[in-house]
Structure 1
Amino acid sequence: MAEAKGITTPMVSSLKLSKFGTDTLPDATEYRSIVGALQYVILIKTEIVFYVNKVCQFLATPLLSHWQAVKRILRYLLSTCLQGLLLQPSKAVSKFSICAYNDSDWASDLGDRRSTSGSCIFFSPNLVSWSAKKQPLVARSIDEAEYRGLAHTTSDIFWIQSLLVELKIPVTLLCSYVTMSMQL
């Protein structure tokens, strides 16, 4: 990996990892070691949280496809090691704004058919909260998966809003977007 070429994305969007397969790794020690190290990396490289969580689900019996996904994450880190979150001062306004974005997929995990929701919340121009997690229940439709994700994001917004009220910071809810995608 020392001479690997960097890439711009940590995982192919169409990749569906599964715990079922016959191409098991002969020695999973290196896989577990690197995935464990990646769990520490997510503290400073937050954009890979979802992908590291994905490969962590296969620590018991990793397959060759899981190992290739880990190597792709490492190649992504190689090309983005000098990038990070930019925090900007807010303009002097009487009220600050909260803006949230949410998206969910439907039954993306081939093993248990649960959906994954992701969200990010901005306080003025700065990202202050983000989440990507598997939903606790199996959704019966894409709409149900989207509504569950939206409910989680809404509760996060209310928590942030109540914290800001407690700190006596005036805030308005500027926008909230749900991206609904159709899957056939």
Structure 2
Amino acid sequence: MNNIGLEKCASEHGVYVQCYQHSERREMLIVCLYVDDMLITGSSVERITNFKFQMLQEFEKSDLGQLNYFLGIEFTKTDEGLMMHQSRYTLDMLNKFNMIHCNSANTPAEVGLKLEKDPEEEGVDPTEYRKMVGSLRYLCNTRPNISYSVGLVSRYMQNPRISHLMAIKRILRYLKGTHNFGILLPGGESEGEVRINAYSDSDWCGDKSDRKSTAGYVFFLNGAPISWSSIKEPVVALSSCETEYIAACEATCQAAWLSSLMSELKIEVEGKVRLLVDNKSAIELTKHPASHGRRKHIETRFHYIREQVSKGKLEVVYCRSEDQIEDLLTKALKGERFLILRKQIGVKKVEIKADLQNRATKT
């Protein structure tokens, strides 16, 4: 790659970029490489064609044309933009685990669900359980709305019981009714401003067994979701302020990585990265040194957010709890609220061809 003028990104080793001037206009070529699969995009069709020709001269490759399938992820063009989904993968997974004919559910997790680590219940096959969890985790690449539920059942892979298996089957039942959903990447002007906004939230002491909280974040690039996470925090927080502060710091680390990647891709981001948090005390803790005295017991690494704010690289902004999209990634929600946040996070239905839908009847 280096021999033909592409630079390897230090932030993401599988991405290569080339920038050049053409007719007083800056052009670029971006290549994503994973083992022997390659994804090529750029601002010039001619340059993309030339690059393909160079690759074919060096390696035996198949040109599959415009993007529609990559690493198990499908891409469908619509009037609104590009839909990124895993409909085929979802149907195959439902077939694999004999859930293709099950009744669908309107949410991936029941409200108030309390799972225990070692309940007095009958055990289930741990190998099969882990296969189901692994399959679901890969689906989270295009379905942030199941990230919390999948993260929850992932905690019990060592010694799974009946209640844990039923929670997984609830997720599969939800996927039965929403197999043709995915992420919408809206179309827009290529020369317009680029902005990054993020939401961060946590569910204080969400895990009743060890009292640790569940933290989550989601990043939007011009309204399109590009990065999200739902994880259990590594420490026990003593207040809602602390757990929100820790969650915001996790999001800050991701913001720093995204900023570095954008810089290497020669994409100029307008203004600072905006992080929306619904806890005013946590926001104050990121800005004012006077607050630090009351939080000395917080691990040093979580104060990284204070450094980013003081350097002007990150802006932490308050948002109302009613507007907090992150609730979708930190707790189980009721049906109506879940549907509203699913739409706001960018997960929508995509029109699937009839031949793909017919796979549901095949075993």
Q: What TM bracket, shorter-length normalisation?
A: 0.7 to 0.9
Residues 1:78 and 2:176 are matched in the alignment: yes
With over 3 angstroms needed to count, the CA separation of the structure-2 counterparts of 1:57 and 1:69, relative to structure 1, is: same
Deviation per residue, 1:12-49 (Å, 9 max, x gap): 23212111321233544543342333234334444323
Residues 147-167 of structure 1, C-alpha deviations (whole Å, 9 max, x = no match) = 000111122223212322333
Q: Higher relative contact order at CA 8 Å, sep ≥6: structure 1 or structure 2?
A: 1
Matching residue of 1:60 = 158
CA deviation string 1:94-153 (max 9, x = no partner):
531111011101111122211110000001121111011111111111110000001111
Q: Which residue of 1 aligns with 2:226?
A: 128
Code of the aligned partner of 1:178: V
Q: Which runs of 5+ in 1 are unaligned?
A: none
CA deviation digits over 1:74-110, x for unaligned, max 9?
1011011111111112335653111101110111112
Identity of aligned residues (%): 39
Write the letter of the residue equivalent to 2:129. Answer: Y
- SS class of match (1:162): helix
Distance of aligned partners of 1:173 and 1:7 in 2 relative to their CA distance in 1, 3 Å threshold:
farther
Say whether residues 1:148 and 2:246 are aligned partners: yes
Letter in 2 for 1:122: F
8 A Cα contact 1:16 1:108, kept in partner: no
State the TM-score, normalized to the length of structure 2: 0.46
Provide the residue aligned with 1:98 in structure 2: 196
The answer to whether 1:176 aligns with 2:275 is yes
TM-align CA RMSD: 2.2
SS at structure 2 position matched to 1:84: strand
Partner of 2:257: 159
Q: Find out whether 1:23 has 2:117 as its counterpart.
A: no
1:47 aligned onto 2:117? no
Distance in 1, matches of 2:254 and 2:102, equals 39
Between Structure 1 and Structure 2, whose CA radius of gyration is higher? 2
The answer to whether residue 107 in structure 2 is matched with residue 9 in structure 1 is yes
More helix by share: 2
Greater CA drift, 117-126 or 169-178: 169-178
